[in-house]
Structures are given as C-alpha cells and as structure tokens.
Amino acid sequence: MFNVCYNCGLYRADKLIDPAGPYAICPECGHRHPFRRLPLFIVGGASGSGKSTLCQALTGVVTEAVLLDADLLWRPEFDRPEEGYRDYFELWLRLCKNIGQSGRPVMLFGAGMGAPDNMEPRVERRYFSRLHYLALVCEDERLAARLRGRPQWRASRDESFIEGQIQFNRWHKNHGPKADPPIQLLDTTELSVQDTARQITQWLSEYLESKPENFAW
C-alpha cells in the first residue's frame, strides 16, 4: 500500500510518476519509491455478454495474470451515478495496483470498467503503464435472450433493464473502436464459452509476449 510514503508517512494517492524507474514520487518529501508499473487488462461489455462466465472459465487456466470479477466489491454505498461511481473505480484501481506488485498483472472483468472515460481520468490510473480494453458484444436478440433466461434473483428480466443493456451493447459496437484508448471487440454471438476463452487468452498473450524486462508494458 505505497500510497503511504515510506519516508514521511503521509498518505498521497496522487504521487508523481517517473517512468524511467519506474518510481512513485511523494509530492510532500520527494521520496522515490520504486514499483512495478504493469498494465491492467479489462474485459467489459453489457450485462449478459458473458463476462462472469468467462472469468470463471479462465480462472485457474490463465496463470500469467490474476483474474477478478468486479462484482466482488460492489456495495450499495458505491451506487453514486452523480459522482460517476468514482470511489468504486478508484478502489479497484488501487487494489489492482497493489496486486501487481507481486509481479503479475490483473485481468478485471466488469461492465463499467470497460469504458475508458470511467477509468482513464482516475487518480490511481497513473500507476499503470497502460489499460487494455476488450469488450464482449453480441447480437441484440441473443443478449436479450440471455438476460431473460437468468434466474429470477438476478433481476435481469425487466424489459427496461434489457433495453438499457442492448443500448450499452450497441454503444460498444459503435463507439468502442473509436474510443481513446480504443476498445477491442469480441463478438460472442456464435462462439462457445471455450472458443471465447481461447480468444481472450490470445488477446492477453499478444501483450505478454512483447513486454520489456522493466515491466513498464
């Protein structure tokens, strides 16, 4: 938890980053804390696109990254759309940053995390070399059928909820590749879970195989 400076003891999330180290520099005393500036891999998409299913299918199979489902930390107090869910996104970035200090990056599965506008402006974003975005998408009819087929307790059968997720699905298709940074799309309409898992693994491997030795990849 190096938001607390090891030299002066003050808590500052907004440390200055020197990528040459990389170092996180305390704004109060100038202490230069070396750290691993890894990337963060984010798998997003609308509800029903397959995020949780794929996270479960890949956990224990993909060992080059730590796989986490963003729903794990959701609590009612984070439901603050008027603030852009800022505290929730900052919490996840802080957690992923600290996990990365063990030497493995995180692959995070979450709907809101998959939109660059939600993640790139955050204070804790500076501790990552890059955020890589992949969105699971599918045809509208398939998405609606998946949501209607869920158990009642998941409360996903309401038609207004389904329509909202269809619009979010379309947003990824129409705007994802033009986002900054761009969102790569993976259409799961006709893919099995196993085939989708293989493509996500390949997406991850393309970046892992090209990483330089200083971990700033």
Structural domain spans, the chain: 1-35, 36-208
Token output for 49: 């696109």
pLDDT at 151 over 90: no
Between helices 193-208 and 51-58, what is the axis angle to 10°?
70
pLDDT at 3 over 60: yes
pLDDT at 127 over 90: yes
Are the C-beta atoms of residues 204 and 107 closer than 8 Å to each other? yes
pTM of the predicted protein model? 0.92
* Architecture of the 36-208 domain: 3-Layer(aba) Sandwich (3.40)
Q: Please write the tens of the pLDDT for every residue from 51-86.
A: 999 999 999 999 999 999 999 998 899 999 999 999
Say how many C-beta atoms besides its own lie within 10 A of residue 109's C-beta: 29
Q: Which amino acid is at 3?
A: N
Q: Please write the tens of the pLDDT for every residue from 6-40.
A: 999 999 999 999 999 999 999 999 999 999 999 99
Q: Please write the tens of the pLDDT for every residue from 97-123.
A: 999 999 999 999 999 999 999 999 999
DSSP 8-class letter at 157: -
Q: Report pLDDT for 211.
A: 58
Q: Which amino acid is at 48?
A: G
